Structure 1
């Protein structure tokens, strides 16, 4: 029987889910494609078809982290400036809390960081592309906010996106490498909320949150 696109997508989802679980449980380096294939009940060839290799699986897991922001960017026309910033805060807050409650994620993030460096050094594109795409998504989001309300000086869409991206990446890197005592939750959550709340004036917030008569 011929497989449908939905069947293929479901198989890819199951492979990715099994890979992430095994990476967290055993560590990325200690997991083989054979183990992942057995866990899902597919052949190793199926993994190669969907993700090429183990690095492809790690890249897919990493890229999945951008999805909530891409989704928000696609829905900008349905939200006010205040609700957009609130949703960004909620997305980051949920991520930080999930990571803080699962220290195994440190190892996985470190692997992603090493992969970024390796890819950037090898071809100068792939590693930077992930960060650039995320940064461009933030520019799109903050540009929509700026169209509705004036960002607090000296911020504009691109500078706000740059600082926000650097903050998120910096917090995640320090947490993964255990370079500081700062916790993603609640410390990182408080910092992100402070940055977002400082981008638009309190007057604009009150105007946008005022109920209709």
Structure 2
């Protein structure tokens, strides 16, 4: 029987290839990752405003329609790049839940300071953060219902709950209060650094702030 192909299926066929066979979910996921990496390169090299979807698609070897299929538009790409920032925290929470040893607070500090190091070693990242702030596509300034901010908060809460269970937290801190405070501190540090108006750098000043606070929560 000749079944009519849906528009969605037609778009997926076009993603990254002219092969008439529908791509597998794994291949589509890999194409998505490649598009996202290309977008990051374009944004950092040319700036968000000057980056073009055509160039992002060409660098991966897919059509512009494929980019629209996965991310809709440039702002969608920026949202996706922002959302990747929560992955290290979620992975840390999962890893600590499976391990019986280690210091959760030190591990959380390592993740946060690692993010600060990555941002600091590429001066273009400051401009990217500024764009994200303007588009309300970052944790800073976003609404309380922002799924990214909530996911980040949930991941840090899980880490701090493990710390609370294993070593305890000093009064008056609870895991939920500490995670909310830490999220606010991270957001504030990133905002000030992105502005570049003060004699403040994520490395070493931001890292020192994070380590000092986490050390104060150890019992």
TM-score (norm 1): 0.86
| Residue deviations 1:160-209 (CA, integer Å, cap 9, x gap) | 111111111111111111132111011111111111111122xxxxxxxx
Distance 1:155 1:81, change over 3 A: farther
Distance 1:25 1:183, change over 3 A: same
2:177 maps to which of 137, 156, 159:
159
| Residue deviations 1:1-52 (CA, integer Å, cap 9, x gap) | 3311111111111100000001000000111111111111110110011111
Question: Hey, what does 1:105 align to over in structure 2?
Answer: 125
- Report the RMSD for the aligned CA atoms in angstroms: 2.3
2:55 maps to which of 10, 20, 35:
35
The answer to whether the aligner puts 1:15 opposite 2:35 as a matched pair is: yes
The 5 Å alignment of 1:1-213 reads: 1-80=21-100, 82-116=102-136, 128-201=146-219
* Structure whose residues are more often helix by fraction: 1
Q: Which runs of 5+ in 2 are unaligned?
A: 1-20
Question: Hey, what does 1:204 align to over in structure 2?
Answer: none
TM-score (norm 2): 0.83
**Larger relative contact order, structure 1 or 2 (CA cutoff 8 Å, min sep 6):** 1
